[in-house]
Amino acid sequence: MAGTEIDLGYLPNSTSPIYDQNYQGGDRNSSGITQIENYRKVIDAELIYPRPDSETPTWARHRKAYTGRKYEFAIGVANGAWPFYYEVISGPSGLTVGTGLNVDGNGALTPAANYGVVSWDSPTAGTHSVTVRVSFQDGATAIDVVWEIVVGTSGHIFVDASVGSSGTGTLASPFKNIDDWYLADSTDTTYSEFHVHYAAGTYDVFTSDATNNNNIVLDYHNKPLVHIGEVGESVIWDFDTGNLVTGIEPEFNGLEQNFHDFYCGDIEWTGGKQEDGARRLAVFATARGDFPYDPDGSIGGCRNTWFRSNQTSWTYTGDASNNAGICFASNAGDVDKGRSHWYISHLDISDITNGHTNFNGWFIGQMRRFLVEHITESNTDFGRGPFSGKSSEWGSCYRNLDLVAAPDQSFVYDNAGSYAPLVGGNTEVSYSRFKRISGSGNDAVIESGHHNNIYSAGNPYHDPNYHFRNNISGVGGSAAAFNAFFDWPVFVYDDIWCSNTTDGISFDGPVNTQVDGGWLLFTTANNPFDADLNLLSDTNRGTLGAEMVEA
């Protein structure tokens, strides 16, 4: 069973250089990193989460812990030569970081569940300094992630759905529901800057705040933005009766919620309010000009993080207009820079259906960085796609994704548009598996492009996007593996595609749209993958496609 090698040659019309390096790995090096065959880097690494203490408030998730209660979050580094090696250089006794790579029967490496996750089982009271080092396959200068943790009992409240009646919010006397800390008033500041801890149970996303349509309106100045489920327990937020709003949206009374450092960890989201005015589970706003940690927009200090917060089991039947979906972050055309960093990791998306083509997972407008990694998707049809960064100044990094989509759903991303102050690009899609289930859908499995055509006199060309070491299968219909549209240069390296189209590509848009690089193409009759998109043959394992093997 042989595939066709596709090499389109050099892309002549791009004004951007190709920042590509291709390395042959060796044995485990002096930094402790397990090196893999044929690793690749196209963009230098950048720390997304957690950012330095100078850029974050003292109440941010990583900077506080409750005495004796498990403390966990994932370190997020975009781009760079992956897989990384994580190492605790200094910190309190018992604090660890996950470094594990599992090995299957074919010798393929996959990140363990705790890969890159900082964990401390029983924090001790006091202030503790931590340094975790992140090292790279290519020997580039490591990133030291440095922060302080304050461990104590103040600034924390607890919620437990199983209690008979609501208490005072302490660990010994927890609240019973969300409205107990919200206090039916978006302007109340009683629990501003607190961490909210949830025990096992289902919690209605509902408040008694009729002024705001019973939604949770989170404002940096008023309400807690850190929400943590008890590790190992089933904590569920049910959105059937309400929404989470931190945005500038007319259907939510035009409120501007200038927030930052939202964190949701170990909380499953389910349900979905079915009214036109609340067609998203969450609405976020781009930070405005008076943003306290980024006054001039130079660093993008507005952080939003989801960690192990699965999205599951809801059917969308409401209005499909205006980008419906799980989370919508609006464009803010009067802001001259992308301000927000988004990090979504270690979660599953499953059993979400809808009847519309304009339905999204996370649809992020005017962001600065968007890192998505260690995600699985199954039995789900978003219509548009699970992740998209629109009208953005910088690029996204989608890595180690395992997405199985419905016949008419593509994995779509776009990083520029009519509101973008600068053209986008520099997006990386790497070490991922994308599979279209059997059906007649003809849309490409992956689509790369942008909202509006702005390649014209006086506008610079987009920076390129990069795809490498992915497995892509478009089973059924005449679907291409990849669709490039609207004047965007894309470089593809070391992918393996399964598609019945001539070279696996379709083009949609002006003639300046181009794809460059090389990939291995199989027809569906010679499908090289098993049901989980693992290679059936050892021929290319570790050198092409998503599977990694030790060098």
pLDDT tens for each residue of 310-336: 998 877 665 555 566 778 776 654 455
At residue 399, the 3 state secondary structure works out as: strand
Query: Confidence band (pLDDT; 50, 70, 90) for 357?
Result: low
Q: Where is pLDDT greater, at 459 or 502?
A: 502
Choice between 455 and 246, residue whose per-residue pLDDT is larger: 246
Confidence of residue 384 (pLDDT cuts 50, 70, 90): confident
Fill in the amino acid letter for 180.
Answer: D
Q: Picking from 47-51, 239-243, 252-256, which range would have the lowest pLDDT averaged per residue?
A: 252-256
Query: Degrees (nearest 5) of the Cα angle 450, 431, 1?
Result: 105
DSSP string over 63-122: GEEETTS-EEEE-EEESSSSSPEEEEEE-STTEEEB--EEE-TT-EEEE-TTBTEEEESS
- Which range is least confidently modeled, 88-92, 97-101, 225-229, 279-283? 279-283
Measured distance CA(369)–CA(397) in Å, rounded:
8
Whether residue 172 has pLDDT greater than 70? yes
Query: pLDDT (tens digit, 9 = 90+) per residue, 207-227?
Result: 999 888 888 888 667 889 999
Q: What is the mean pLDDT of the chain?
A: 78
In this model, does residue 40 exceed pLDDT 90? no
- What is the model's pLDDT at position 257? 45
pLDDT bucket at 413, cuts 50 / 70 / 90: low
Q: Enumerate residues 6+ apart whose C-beta is below 8 A from 152.
A: 66, 67, 125
| 3 state DSSP class of 179 | helix
Integer Cα distance of 427 and 491 in angstroms: 10
Q: Which of 87-91, 165-169, 346-350, 359-363 has the lowest mean pLDDT?
A: 359-363
Ordered DSSP codes for 15-34: -S----EEE---S--TT---
Q: Please determine, for residue 458, whether its predicted confidence score (pLDDT) is greater than 50.
A: no
Strands 76-78 and 46-49, how do they pair? Answer: antiparallel
Q: Hey, where are the domains in the chain? A: 19-148, 156-285
Mean pLDDT of 431-439: 78
pLDDT > 60? residue 35: yes
* pLDDT level of residue 88 (50, 70, 90 thresholds): very high
Please give the pLDDT value at position 307: 97
Q: Report pLDDT for 414.
A: 60
Residue 428 region, left (φ>0) first, then alpha (ψ -120 to 50), else beta?
beta
- Model pLDDT, residue 331: 61
Specify the pLDDT at position 293: 65
Query: Rounded distance, CA 465 to CA 486, Å?
Result: 13
More confident residue, 357 or 335: 357
**CA 32: distance to chain centroid?**
27
- Each residue's pLDDT tens digit, 385-394: 788 776 666 6
Token readout for 256 is 């501007």
Quote the tokens at residue 173: 């006397």
